[in-house]
A and B are shown apart, each in its own frame.
Chain A
């Protein structure tokens, strides 16, 4: 990797490591390599992780069972991949995708294609330097032989998956005005769908569908009215990848906070569709229904946390549900056909509501809006949870989320104005824990302390394992039924991604990242067996 030390370059930096090596690495699959198809996205094979969530449901639940509660403590390192980009804020936040034996993953301004068997680089693309916020990059997505990557300054680029060469580049938002991007695009049918990030500036949130071949806009859905509409909110940016139900041909996206952020007086009412979960038709972008976790938000509690889809039994009846553990401290179960609430609970300290209305939405307490002399609010602005992906284990019915019980002080006064943040808030205290919520009751079945607020997402497997990470850089494997630790590995880094797992040559691999390094774990006998085979 040192050979390809990532410098910023105006031209595309393609690092095709020893050609022969790349050729050897892909030999075993090249005959069947097909890239990503609609069928793969709808039903990912065991030897793939073709999209941000794995499959479309957002459950991040793998059917693999080779690594189990009985043997997980034996897991050992197969390889690591050093991006060479460490340092402070530069943490890997992407979920790698795995297609045809190749892993594709990102950090801001960088994309890598790496051989999943060895961790060897196939190519590396460094995007041109740009001034936008570099707070994170959550990964690329793929359709056929093209990767779709969002640059920090809100361009979408199509890359040739074989070489990393840029095929087209379109700008979807103006980063100079305050929208930037971190998202892994969602691909449904013939649509590449993206939103932008941003909450400092009074801007209009949107979801845009692009043509996978050309990047041309197919449709755009706007979350809020045009900026400057009197008494109306701006904002509602879509930061995170949505989920999709192929049966209904319906997508589900969370939208971000209204703006001005902490000052709600100039934007009376619910401020639709900010802090909302919206169901959109992927062909047209038409809204089918919306549910608003935070009506008239004044605390920056985006509802962009992953809307997780599951077909479950509620009071003896089969239901198609959507679940969200929301930043505002509430756990929602919604009928995803109608958008109607089934259950609303809290999963930690929450003190900003007057209760829940008949539609299942929290009722904001006006006395808990930011004020000149400060208001003590739970949770804090970072929220009871945030961007980190949760996981749903259908067998136990547990929705497992990395949470952060917290308190803060919120301030706002007329002098703070009506643009951007328009106030100030200060977190006082927080801690981290994994909470396993029973979807039937909305109540935690177990809680696993993580120390300080942690940044890792969660993955579960059908063998009954839960993978995540704590705030001290420990990778964790827990027993899903009880929350007890079965395996851990200290990395000394900041874990800010979500683990994935896949089968490679018949054996299960668990892939995690910490700092700017990727780690692949397997059971030792398979690692040893692979070495023996290679020696023959």
Chain B
């Protein structure tokens, strides 16, 4: 019970933080109160900081997990979990660093990350724990290494010019049409750092599409678009209730903050990206 409530609080804290991307007009400070919980150990990744703490796993578990990892995970995440074709480096993953005994890693394996192309895996609990054991062992190994390491250090990204980035933010990129350095983006470089900050800057991961749906009977509902394909639109309204309709049965209007980010992809030079990052990184 104790473990469960702690885990739930941790998960809430993570999801609350993750739910605050660069949304236009939403101030990071007053959007969602972060539930008060026990102070959490700061989570570290890469070769920085002390190694994360987690449950002890047996050599048998780690070995069995290694076999399962090769079969199911290694193509995307690399044989050593250090990243591969399309899948991130798990040895630098905050989910892995924050996981104690499978509560975080296991959830990702069971549920997948459909939006990022990771399928869910229906494996028995014991096998999931073996995978958890293996991933932890790989992170421990990677973090104890000081030599050759794949991956991106925060310092790698700082080659741009802050003033040029500020200018891009205010003029060329017209970021100010949705964002404010003292409003929604104040302290953004504290919330996200390094590569994650750059990824959020270029393509905010959790920026939800808002949708207003008008039904044939004249009812108007506003909420977050939670499903959309060619034939069906689904949304979660302000009361948290899910609705779906054939797209032909309703009229709807979408507001997608990601679109403006996507539109910039074809316009950026690499210099723009580095300058803009240098500037955003000052918003601590």
> Which of B86, B149, B274 contacts A427, CB < 8 Å?
B86
Q: How far is the CB of B157 from chain A (nearest CB, A)?
A: 6
CB neighbours of B274 from chain A (8 A): 373-374
> Which of B123, B230, B265 contacts A474, CB < 8 Å?
B230
CB neighbours of A452 from chain B (8 A): 115, 117
**B229 in contact with A131 (CB, 8 Å):** no
In the docked arrangement, what's the CA distance between A309 and B266, Å? 33
Query: Is the CB of B121 closer than 8 A to any CB of chain A?
Result: yes
CB neighbours of A451 from chain B (8 A): 228-230
Q: Which residue of A lies closest to B111 (CB)?
A: A88
Fill in one digit per residue for A414-440: 1 if any B CB lies within 8 Å of its CB, else 0: 011100011110111100000000000
CB neighbours of A409 from chain B (8 A): 195, 198-199, 202
**B85 in contact with A300 (CB, 8 Å):** yes
Q: Which residue of A lies closest to B89 (CB)?
A: A424
Query: Is the CB of B72 closer than 8 A to any CB of chain A?
Result: yes
In the docked arrangement, what's the CA distance between A409 and B194, Å? 13
Query: Is the CB of B97 closer than 8 A to any CB of chain A?
Result: no
Binds A, one of B14-22, B74-82, B171-179, B183-191: B74-82
**A349 in contact with B265 (CB, 8 Å):** yes
CB neighbours of A417 from chain B (8 A): 148, 150
**B79 in contact with A178 (CB, 8 Å):** yes
CB neighbours of A372 from chain B (8 A): 156, 159
What range describes how many residues of A lie at the interface? 35 or more
**A367 in contact with B86 (CB, 8 Å):** no
Q: How far is the CB of B245 from chain A (nearest CB, A)?
A: 14
Q: Which of B71, B84, B203 has the most CB of A within 10 A?
A: B71
Given known A-B contacts A200-B78, A474-B230, A429 and B203 have beta carbons under 8 A apart: yes
- Interface size (B, Cβ < 8 Å)? 52
**A374 in contact with B70 (CB, 8 Å):** no
In the docked arrangement, what's the CA distance between A446 and B74, Å? 37
In the docked arrangement, what's the CA distance between A89 and B195, Å? 27
**A375 in contact with B83 (CB, 8 Å):** no
**A133 in contact with B123 (CB, 8 Å):** no
Chain B interface residues toward A at CB < 8 A: 67, 70-72, 74-75, 78-79, 82-86, 88-89, 112, 115, 117, 119-123, 148-152, 156-160, 195, 198-199, 202-203, 228-232, 258, 261-262, 265-266, 268, 270, 273-274
- Cross-chain pairs A/B with CB under 8 angstroms, 19 sampled: A86-B122, A88-B112, A88-B122, A133-B71, A300-B85, A373-B159, A373-B274, A407-B203, A422-B150, A423-B150, A424-B152, A426-B199, A428-B199, A429-B258, A429-B265, A449-B230, A452-B115, A452-B117, A490-B231
Q: Known pairs A382-B117, A488-B230. 5 more at Cβ < 8 A?
A: A374-B274, A381-B85, A421-B83, A424-B151, A429-B203
